[in-house]
């Protein structure tokens, strides 16, 4: 989706969804980002929005060959922004979208003004010194990361090792597809909501699942995990990023610790949100939009 702002001097912004999300998860932020004047905001903080489907997801073209890892997705999006005539642009991404955003900052730093990420993951290196003096909140997030790796990584291991086998079951069963995705919304949304539909709404939940079901992309979307699991460069040490980055952290669900993120990225803004979970664009759209506007408005 390509949405031009009514403001002629709007900044180009690439919005990247995650898994099990889709371009539709940005539905609640597009108006606030593209037309802030309409919401009583500063028109100088308006954006022309480019909201693609990640390859293998939603309305993207079917994957014709192997190798569609985070880096290749990033190169495809960099080329897309150039074809649209956007020589300087920002990127916002969460979950898988955050991984791709980081790669965009590495491969297209000449054109990327800044990166805004949520649901960012920065793993400990194994050096005990980097974990000394953590705050209680930071320790809680590290504990959450360990709990996730111990108890909730089953989906990732299946998608990362046997995506094609899994896809036959999901593609053949709407109930199976629904359960596979809704489980993630149940576990990853703000725990203040008793049910996932309380956090994001029934329509948003069903729209998202329907995009996977009607496009038959349960398998192709899982393939991105397979590529990441089998790409040695994905886990190899990389140079610290140079593009300015802002991070929005959900204190109820995220695992990001600032000092670990600063080890890998050029962090210039760090926002911790009391409410909202993993799916910030859907759960806390106005908070996310405000943070995006303020970050990019601060860049020269």
pLDDT in tens, 71-112: 999 999 999 999 999 999 999 999 999 999 999 999 999 999
Torsion of CA 153, 155, 156, 157, to 10 degrees: 80
Domains annotated on the chain, with CATH: 2-298 (3.40.50.1820)
Q: Which of 17, 48, 70, 278 is an active site residue?
A: 278
Q: Which of 95, 108, 254, 264 is an active site residue?
A: 95
pLDDT in tens, 267-278: 999 999 999 999
Q: Which region among 59-63, 195-199, 203-207, 241-245 has the lowest average model confidence (pLDDT)?
A: 59-63
Active site residue 70: no
Listed in order, strand segments (DSSP E) in 110-160 are 112-118
How far apart CA 259 and CA 275 sit, in angstroms, is: 22
How far apart CA 141 and CA 124 sit, in angstroms, is: 12
The DSSP line for 213-249 is HHHT-HHHHHHHHHHHHT-HHHHS--PPP-SEEEEEE
Active site residue 95: yes
**Measured between alpha carbons, how far is residue 44 from residues 37, 115, 207, 244 in Å?**
9, 18, 32, 20
Please check the confidence at residue 300 and state whether its pLDDT lies above 80: no
pTM for this predicted structure: 0.97
Nearest to 279 by CA among 292, 288, 267, 269: 288
Show Cβ contacts of residue 13 under 8 Å, excluding neighbours closer than 6 positions: 33, 47, 48, 49, 50, 89, 90, 91, 92, 292, 296
pLDDT score recorded for residue 131: 93
pLDDT in tens, 205-262: 999 999 999 999 999 999 999 999 999 888 888 899 999 999 999 999 999 999 999 9
> Two tokens at 54?
């990640």
pLDDT score recorded for residue 61: 86
Kindly report the average pLDDT of the chain as a whole number.
Answer: 96
Q: Under a CB-based contact definition with an 8 Å cutoff, are residues 94 and 115 in contact?
A: no
Active site residue 266: no
Show Cβ contacts of residue 237 under 8 Å, excluding neighbours closer than 6 positions: none
CB atoms within 10 A of CB 136: 7
pLDDT score recorded for residue 236: 82
Q: Which of 225, 226, 254, 291 is an active site residue?
A: 225
Indicate the pLDDT class of residue 35, thresholds 50, 70 and 90.
very high
């Amino acid at each position: 989706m390509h949405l031009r702002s009514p403001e002629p001097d709007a900044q180009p912004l690439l919005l990247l969804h995650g898994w099990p999300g889709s371009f539709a998860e940005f539905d609640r932020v597009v108006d606030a980002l593209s037309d802030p004047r309409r919401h009583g905001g500063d028109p100088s903080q308006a954006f022309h929005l480019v909201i693609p489907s990640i390859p293998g997801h939603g309305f993207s073209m079917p994957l014709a060959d192997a190798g569609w890892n985070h880096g290749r997705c990033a190169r495809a999006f960099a080329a897309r922004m150039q074809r649209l005539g956007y020589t300087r642009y920002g990127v916002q991404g969460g979950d898988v979208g955050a991984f791709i955003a980081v790669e965009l900052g590495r491969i297209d730093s000449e054109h990327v003004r800044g990166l805004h990420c949520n649901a960012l993951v920065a793993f400990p290196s194994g050096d005990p010194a980097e974990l000394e003096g953590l705050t209680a909140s930071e320790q809680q997030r590290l504990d959450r990361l360990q709990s996730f790796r111990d108890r909730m990584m089953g989906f990732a291991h299946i998608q990362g090792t046997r995506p094609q086998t899994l896809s036959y079951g999901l593609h053949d069963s709407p109930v199976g597809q629904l359960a596979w995705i809704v489980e993630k919304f149940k576990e990853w949304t703000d725990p203040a909501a008793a049910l996932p539909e309380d956090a994001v709404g029934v329509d948003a939940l069903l729209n998202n699942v329907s995009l996977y079901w009607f496009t038959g992309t349960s398998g192709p979307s899982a393939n991105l995990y397979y590529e990441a699991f089998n790409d040695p460069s994905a886990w190899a040490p990389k140079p610290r990023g140079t593009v300015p980055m802002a991070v929005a952290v959900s204190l109820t669900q995220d695992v990001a610790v600032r000092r670990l993120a600063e080890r890998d990225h050029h962090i210039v803004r760090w926002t911790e949100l009391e409410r909202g979970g993993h799916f910030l664009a859907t759960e806390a759209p106005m908070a996310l939009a405000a943070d995006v506007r303020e970050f990019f408005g601060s860049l020269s």
